[in-house]
Structure formats: structure tokens, C-alpha cells
């Protein structure tokens, strides 16, 4: 059992997959000697050389498109966007090209590419470097979307992402890079579409994504002190989404709160809430609540950014509200 | 082209103002007084100063992530700038934007930009509005060597050229996009070469010579005002600091940095003014002292200004 940072776990997954499969390569801005904007690809250039860890110009459209084309031509590219916000520059190549090629071509092609990108607020990077955009991607049939919260999940999900024959959007939270956690020596690939029950409870189900998993666990402790026993579930991938685990939990707790850092409006939480309502509304003893960021861009100034980012206290408040 | 004494002093003042402002930010960042990212313009002052000296207040500019210099050169108020970078409610953008989005819209600034290559199409659109209304204005797009590789930039160059829009594309070629030297990001060495593909003039100037920048931009602006369409002016320069403060800059040699520091545009301009009798040493000292006082006032203003209130979060999402 080793203590590792989230960043190291990602780095290990990349290295091991590159050692295992010569078709895996990395492209992106400053991913080479520089090691990536946040350092995720550090050391890989030295180990694998420029051919397999390749700096690109600042050209997101071509980064995502080239990864798509190279994947269609038989490689397994992992491309990096420095910040998920830059997907705006390359969206066509992702959602009209990578996501749909297989379907449009009658199942005759595979696009085994991974698009890694950090998202999330919390470092004062303002409106164009802080968004959480998973709902954009989960809305597109043909894409898979992973968003690990822990080092172990970061490692295991990235292995799966690279081995998957579909385009995978792999969303890291930039504030989690330095977070440490246990990664077992025998850790392996974690299948997509398998939620993790992070804490068992009986009174309310809290489904949380990415960094909000930590807030949900913190909220659960606060609630426990007030006699409310919360179950915390991390779906880990939002496409595919493991609704079975969530539904089983809600059948037990009869109460649901969904929490994510993305803007609440049109977020992944709306999808989860809607599916629970469609499937098992009769089991619910309380209204469903969503916790998410307010409907504003991410502001720069620290007190504003702090007000923007949802946290444990918002989850506690949501649980107390529906139970009152 | 003869440059008036007044213009020379104006350009020098701008460069010195940028230098002092950025040097202070360097200190403040090191002392953890500034949140977020800071990209300093140290060493590149002559580009903004020379280019904006060729513009009127009504002209538009689009700036970049390295935008403090452009704003100062367009006439920005150091107080409001410093307050914004400190995240204060009295800042240019009420603390919503910070360093990367700092802008004075009243000065025709359509943003600093967090998206590399984001400014090209916007400057082109401003050019379209100018042409549409038949106004005597131009739009200037500042963009980096890295930004020149973005599709958005190339699309903007093409559109501006196809529609003969009054846009001047000012390339700040400092040799690197973060760690990536231009030798790795493009097959050419002169970004000005790209102008040929859009049938517009492509000019290269020494970006550390404020008079050369001023002359080239003046010519491009005159052409745009006459309705003859866009130009691309490539200014060869260098950033002294890392890409952002905190960048260890392992990708470039110290010798290279030292060579460029020797080409500092500011003493070069000062020497020229002294040689030509435009200013005396004493007058130069007085000019410096005045700017240093102005900067000190800006710092005091920023430090004493209040932070925004959480409720301000919801302001200005929609008109
Ligand atoms: C669309 C987009 N891609 C990448 C980045 C990250 N980034 C910020 S500045 C920069 C380098 C820009 O290089 P250049 O245009 O030459 O400007 P310089 O920093 O040298 O002034 C990069 C890659 C970004 N902000 N936006
Ligand atoms: Mg550059």
C-alpha cells in the first residue's frame, strides 16, 4: 500500500500504459520536457522521448482532431488540454468528429483516444480557467466521461480510459492534484460505470462528483453529529452512469442530495435527480435537492470565488432543508 | 518619418510606467499578495508603447493574457489596474476579472483574454463595426507567436483580409509559447510570412525599438484608416521573466535571457532622447519620480480598497 498524490497516480497510469502498449502516446501543449502545466506528465519525456511525448503548438482544435485521426488510424493517443475551458476551441473535433465517427460509419471504426483536462475553481484563475463542464460531455452520445476524486480512482480509471476503444473525456480536478491517498500495490483498472459507496448510511443518499466527494464526506460527519446517517456515493464516471447503485441506495435511505461543483443549472445533478424521480419516486420521503455552483461565471476575487464554490456546508444545509 | 519630441517622451513614459508597474507586481506576487496567475510584460514594453502611441483613444485593441502593458499604453489608470489585480471591488472589473481579464472598455479595450487566440476574431468584429458605420477608427489585435498558430487567429486574418477590414494584427514574437520555442511550433521563423497567404502586408520590426514599432504601426494604421485593409506587423521581442510568475524557466538558457536584457528597450530610448537633446538627465529623473509617485498612489489605493461582497457574485451576468 503506497501513499500517493492524485498527480503521481495519474503519472503512474500514463507511464505503465506507455510501457505496456507502444501505441500509447501523449500529445499536448508543454507536456514534454516541461511536464505539463500542472506537472502530470513529468518524467515521461525523459523516459519515452519526443516521439511518444510530443509538444504541440497552441492549437487545441488540431490537438483533439489529431488525436481523433491518430486513433482512427490505430494509435491510442492521450491528449491533454491545459484547462478544460479550452475545449471551446476544439469542441467540433470532439463532439462532431470523435464522438460520432463510429456510429456514422456503421460501427466500422473505433476511436480509442483519451482527452485529459483539469477542471474546477479554487486557484483564482477566473472565468476562463475554472469551469466544470462534465455536463457538456455527458450530453453527447459516443463520449465516455470519467471524473476521479481520489488517487486510487485516478489511477484505475485512467488505465481503463486508455484501454477503452471509445473517446474518453477524463476530467481531473486541479485542486486535487496535490491530494494524497492510498493506492494499493495491486491496484488495477477500475471499470467505467461502477459507482463507489464511499460511506455507508441509512438516512440520506448524497451523490457527489469529483472534489465534492470530499465535501460530501465532511458533510456526512457534521450530519452524523446531528444524528443523521448519510450514505455518500461517488459515481466516478458520469457516462456511463451507474444508476443502479444510486437507486439501490435511495431505496434504502428514501432521500437524495446530489452535489457537484459545476453550475447547478443543466448539470449532471439534474440528470441523476431526474432518473431517480422517473424510476423510484414512490420511495422518496423527501424532495430531491441539488447542490451546485450558482448560475454565474467563475469570478476572480477570492471572496467571490469562495462564494461561488459549493462546499460541505451547502450539502449540510440541503440535507437539513429536505428533512425539516 | 520624424517623430515629435512630445511623442518620444510619451512613448518613453509609457514604457517606464509599464516597467515599474510590472516590477511591483513581480514583488507582490513573490510576497503572495496577488491571487491567481500573473503574466508579466517585462522586456516587451516597446511593443505596447510604440503601437498604442500610433492610436487614438477611440481606436480598439484586443489584448492577451499578458495584457497589463497594453492597458497602460492605451491610457489605463494604474489605480484601477492595481485594485483589479488585487481583486478589489474598486478595480477595473470590480474584481471579477483579475490580471488575465483586465480591461478598460471606455478606452476601446475589448479585453485582455485568458484564451490564447481569443482576441483575433473579436478585433476583426470591431473592424467590421467600424467599416459598417464608416467610422474613422481602427482595431488592433495584439497576439503572441504561440497565438499565431491558433485557428482563430488564422481565421481572423483571412476574414479581415477578405473583407478589407481596418484591423492591424500586432504580433508579439517573444520566441516562446510557455516552454515551446517557435522552432518547435512552426516551420517558419518569421510570423510576418503568414501575411502573404492573406494578401496583406507583413512587416518585421525590432520589437525592442519603440520608434521602429511606432513607425510600422503608424503606417499600418494609416492604411487601415484609408480603407485599404489589414496588415500584420511582427515585433521581435523577448519576455524577461518566466511565462507566469512561478515558472522556473528551465527551457531556456541564461545566456539567451542575458543577451536580450542587454537589448532593454528603455535605456535605449532614454539614451536616444538624451543624445538628441529631447530631455536632460534631470528631466528624465523628474519623469521617473513622477511615475514612481503615481505608482505608489495606485498601490495605496489598491491596498485600502474593499474586497467585493459575496452578493456581487450575481451582478453583471446579463445586461
Ligand atoms: C486556448 C488556450 N490554450 C492554451 C492556453 C494556455 N496558455 C496561456 S498563455 C500560453 C502561451 C501563449 O504564447 P504566446 O501566444 O506566444 O504569448 P506569450 O505568453 O509568449 O506572450 C498558453 C499555452 C490558453 N490560455 N488558452
Ligand atoms: Mg510568445
User: What pLDDT, in 10s, does the model give residues A37-68?
Assistant: 999 999 999 999 999 999 999 999 999 999 99
Q: How many domains does chain B have?
A: 1
Instruction: Please give the grid coordinates belonging to residue A24.
Output: 500509447
Q: What is the pLDDT of residues A160-214, one digit of tens each?
A: 999 999 999 999 999 999 999 999 999 999 999 999 999 999 999 999 999 999 9
CB B99 within 8 A of CB B315: no
The DSSP result for B220-281, as a single string, is HHHHHHTT---EEEEEE---SS-SSTT---TTS-HHHHHHHHHT-HHHHHHHHHHHTTSS-H
Q: What is the pLDDT of residues A66-103, one digit of tens each?
A: 999 999 999 999 999 999 999 999 999 999 999 999 99
Based on DSSP, count helices (H) and strands (E) in chain B, helices before strands: 11, 7
Rounded alpha-carbon distances, angstroms, from residue A81 to A36, A40, A42, A118, B244: 9, 12, 15, 8, 18
- Residue B10 placed within a domain: yes
Q: Which ligand is nearest to the CA of A28?
A: 1
Beta bridge partners of A185: none
Separation of CA A59 and ligand 2 centre (Å): 14
- Residue B312 placed within a domain: no
Rounded alpha-carbon distances, angstroms, from residue A129 to A154, A198, A215, A246, B96: 21, 29, 22, 31, 13
- Residue B316 placed within a domain: no
Confirm whether A60 is a catalytic residue.
yes
Report the largest interatomic distance among the alpha carbons of chain B, rounded to a whole angstrom: 56
Q: Report the chain B residue with the minimal C-alpha distance to residue A88.
A: B115
Residue B176 CB less than 6 A away from ligand 1: yes
Average pLDDT across chain A, whole number: 98
- E-strand ranges in chain A read 2-5, 24-28, 53-55, 76-80, 114-119, 144-146, 168-173, 180-183, 196-199, 204-208, 230-234, 237-239, 256-263, 289-293
pTM: 0.97
Ligand 1 pocket mutation, candidates A58, A85, A91, A93, criterion most atoms within 8 A of CB:
A58
Q: What is the pLDDT of residues B187-244, one digit of tens each?
A: 999 999 999 999 999 999 999 999 999 999 999 999 999 999 999 999 999 999 999 9
CB contact under 8 A, B117 and A299: no
Instruction: Please give the grid coordinates belonging to residue B32.
Output: 503572495
- Residue B35 placed within a domain: yes
Residue A31 CB less than 6 A away from ligand 1: no
Which pLDDT score, from 0 to 100, does residue B146 have?
98
Chain B partners within 8 Å of A85 (Cβ): 114-115
**CATH code of B121's domain:** 3.40.50.970
DSSP label at residue A165: S
Which pLDDT score, from 0 to 100, does residue A63 have?
98
- Ligand 1 atom with least separation from CA of B148: 15
Q: What is the mean pLDDT of each successive set of 10 residues along chain B, which is 319 residues long? A: 95 98 98 96 98 98 98 98 98 98 97 97 98 98 98 98 98 98 97 98 98 98 98 98 95 97 98 97 98 98 98 97
Confidence class of residue A1 from pLDDT cuts 50, 70 and 90? confident
> CB distance from B225 to chain A under 8 Å?
no
Chain A partners within 8 Å of B180 (Cβ): 29-30, 55, 57-58
> CB distance from A294 to chain B under 8 Å?
yes
Long-range contacts (CB closer than 8 Å, 24 or more residues apart) made by B244-250: B244/B37, B244/B38, B244/B39, B245/B25, B245/B26, B245/B29, B245/B30, B245/B37, B245/B38, B245/B39, B245/B40, B246/B29, B247/B178, B250/A33, B250/A34, B250/B179
H-only helix segments in B40-77: 45-52, 68-73
The DSSP result for B162-208, as a single string, is HTT-SEEEEEEE-SEETTEEHHHH-S-S-GGGGGGGGTS-EEEEETT
Interface test with A, best of B29, B119, B179 (most A CBs within 10 A): B179
Angstroms from A46 CA to nearest CA on chain B: 14
The pair phi, psi for residue A191, each rounded to 5°, is: -60, 145
Q: Nearest residue CA, atom 20 of ligand 1?
A: B177
Q: Report the chain B residue with the minimal C-alpha distance to residue A36.
A: B179
Ligand 1 pocket mutation, candidates B64, B100, B178, B260, criterion most atoms within 8 A of CB:
B178
H-only helix segments in A21-79: 44-48, 60-72
Region A2-183: CATH code: 3.40.50.970
Q: Which ligand is nearest to the CA of B39?
A: 1
Please state, in angstroms and rounded to a whole number, the distance separating the CA atoms of residues A259 and A278.
19
The pair phi, psi for residue A132, each rounded to 5°, is: -120, 115
Please state, in angstroms and rounded to a whole number, the distance separating the CA atoms of residues B238 and B66.
13
Nearest of A214, A154, A224, A223 to residue A189 by alpha carbon? A154
Interface test with B, best of A126, A130, A295, A302 (most B CBs within 10 A): A126
Please state, in angstroms and rounded to a whole number, the distance separating the CA atoms of residues A67 and A115.
8
CB contact under 8 A, A127 and B114: yes
Chain A partners within 8 Å of B179 (Cβ): 30, 32-34, 55
Side-chain half-sphere CA neighbours of A256 within 13 A: 28
Q: Indicate the fold that domain A196-323 takes in CATH.
A: Rossmann fold (3.40.50)
Helix, strand or coil, per DSSP, at residue B144: strand
Which pLDDT score, from 0 to 100, does residue A48 have?
98
Angstroms from B310 CA to nearest CA on chain A: 5
Size of interface A-B (CB pairs under 8 A): 131
- Residue B263 placed within a domain: yes
Separation of CA A106 and ligand 2 centre (Å): 44
> CB distance from A127 to chain B under 8 Å?
yes
The range of the structural domain enclosing residue B36 comes to: 5-305
Please state, in angstroms and rounded to a whole number, the distance separating the CA atoms of residues B114 and B119.
10
Which pLDDT score, from 0 to 100, does residue B1 have?
83
Q: Domain boundaries in chain A? A: 2-183, 196-323
Please state, in angstroms and rounded to a whole number, the distance separating the CA atoms of residues A201 and A226.
14
Which pLDDT score, from 0 to 100, does residue B20 have?
98
> CB distance from A38 to chain B under 8 Å?
no
Amino acid at each position: 500500500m503506497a501513499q500517493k498524490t492524485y498527480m503521481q497516480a495519474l503519472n503512474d497510469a500514463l507511464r505503465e500504459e506507455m510501457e505496456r502498449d507502444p501505441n500509447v502516446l501523449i500529445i499536448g501543449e508543454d507536456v514534454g520536457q516541461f511536464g505539463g502545466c500542472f506537472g502530470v506528465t513529468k518524467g515521461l519525456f525523459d523516459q519515452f522521448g519526443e516521439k511518444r511525448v510530443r509538444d504541440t503548438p497552441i492549437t487545441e482544435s488540431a490537438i483533439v482532431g489529431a488525436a481523433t485521426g491518430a486513433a482512427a488510424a490505430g494509435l491510442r493517443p492521450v491528449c491533454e488540454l491545459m484547462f478544460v475551458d479550452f475545449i471551446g476551441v476544439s469542441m467540433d473535433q470532439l463532439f462532431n468528429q470523435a464522438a460520432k465517427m463510429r456510429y456514422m460509419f456503421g460501427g466500422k471504426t473505433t476511436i480509442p483516444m483519451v482527452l485529459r483536462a483539469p477542471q474546477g475553481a479554487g486557484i483564482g484563475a477566473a472565468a476562463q480557467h475554472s469551469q466544470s463542464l462534465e455536463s457538456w460531455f455527458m450530453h453527447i452520445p459516443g463520449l465516455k466521461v470519467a471524473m476521479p476524486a481520489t488517487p486510487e480512482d485516478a489511477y484505475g480509471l485512467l488505465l481503463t480510459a486508455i484501454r477503452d476503444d471509445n473517446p474518453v473525456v477524463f476530467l481531473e480536478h486541479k485542486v486535487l492534484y496535490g491530494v494524497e491517498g492510498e493506492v494499493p500495490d495491486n491496484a488495477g483498472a477500475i471499470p467505467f460505470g461502477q459507482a463507489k459507496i464511499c460511506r455507508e448510511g441509512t438516512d440520506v443518499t448524497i451523490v457527489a462528483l469529483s472534489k465534492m466527494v470530499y465535501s460530501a464526506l465532511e458533510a456526512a460527519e457534521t450530519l452524523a453529529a446531528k444524528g443523521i446517517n448519510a450514505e455518500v456515493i461517488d459515481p466516478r464516471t458520469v457516462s456511463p452512469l451507474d444508476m443502479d447503485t444510486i437507486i439501490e441506495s435511495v431505496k434504502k435511505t428514501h432521500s437524495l442530495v446530489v452535489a457537484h461543483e459545476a453550475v447547478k443549472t443543466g448539470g449532471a445533478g439534474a440528470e441523476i435527480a431526474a432518473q431517480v424521480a422517473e424510476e423510484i419516486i414512490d420511495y422518496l420521503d423527501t424532495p430531491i435537492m441539488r447542490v451546485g455552483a450558482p448560475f454565474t461565471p467563475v469570478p476572480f476575487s477570492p471572496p467571490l470565488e469562495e462564494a461561488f464554490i459549493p462546499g460541505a456546508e451547502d450539502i449540510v444545509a440541503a440535507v437539513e432543508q429536505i428533512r425539516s | 518619418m520624424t517623430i515629435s519630441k512630445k511623442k518620444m517622451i510619451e512613448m518613453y513614459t509609457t514604457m517606464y510606467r509599464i516597467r515599474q508597474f510590472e516590477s511591483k507586481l513581480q514583488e507582490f506576487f513573490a510576497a503572495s499578495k496577488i491571487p491567481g496567475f500573473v503574466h508579466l510584460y517585462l522586456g516587451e514594453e516597446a511593443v505596447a508603447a510604440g503601437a498604442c502611441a500610433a492610436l487614438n483613444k477611440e481606436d480598439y485593441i484586443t489584448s492577451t493574457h499578458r495584457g497589463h502593458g497594453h492597458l497602460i499604453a492605451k491610457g489605463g489608470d494604474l489605480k484601477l489596474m492595481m485594485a483589479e489585480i488585487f481583486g478589489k471591488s474598486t478595480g477595473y472589473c470590480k474584481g471579477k476579472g483579475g490580471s488575465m481579464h483586465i480591461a478598460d472598455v471606455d478606452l476601446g479595450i475589448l479585453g485582455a483574454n485568458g484564451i490564447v487566440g481569443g482576441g483575433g476574431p473579436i478585433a476583426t468584429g470591431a473592424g467590421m463595426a467600424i467599416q459598417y458605420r464608416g467610422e474613422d477608427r481602427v482595431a488592433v489585435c495584439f497576439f503572441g507567436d504561440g497565438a499565431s498558430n491558433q485557428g482563430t487567429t488564422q481565421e481572423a486574418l483571412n476574414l479581415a483580409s477578405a473583407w478589407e477590414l481596418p484591423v492591424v494584427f500586432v504580433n508579439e514574437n517573444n520566441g516562446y509559447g510557455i516552454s515551446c520555442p517557435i522552432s518547435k511550433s512552426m516551420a517558419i521563423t518569421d510570423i510576418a510570412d503568414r501575411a502573404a497567404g492573406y494578401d496583406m502586408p507583413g512587416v518585421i520590426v525590432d520589437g525592442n525599438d519603440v520608434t521602429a514599432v511606432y513607425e510600422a504601426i503608424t503606417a499600418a494604421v494609416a492604411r487601415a484608416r484609408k480603407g485599404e485593409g489589414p496588415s500584420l506587423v511582427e515585433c521581435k521581442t523577448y519576455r524577461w521573466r518566466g511565462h507566469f510568475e512561478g515558472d522556473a524557466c528551465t527551457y531556456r538558457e541564461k545566456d539567451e535571457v542575458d543577451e536580450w536584457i542587454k537589448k532593454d528597450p528603455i535605456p535605449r530610448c532614454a539614451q536616444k532622447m538624451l543624445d538628441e537633446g529631447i530631455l536632460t538627465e534631470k528631466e528624465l529623473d523628474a519623469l521617473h519620480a513622477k511615475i514612481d509617485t503615481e505608482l505608489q498612489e495606485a498601490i495605496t489605493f489598491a491596498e485600502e480598497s474593499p474586497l467585493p461582497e459575496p452578493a456581487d457574485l450575481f451582478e453583471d451576468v446579463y445586461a
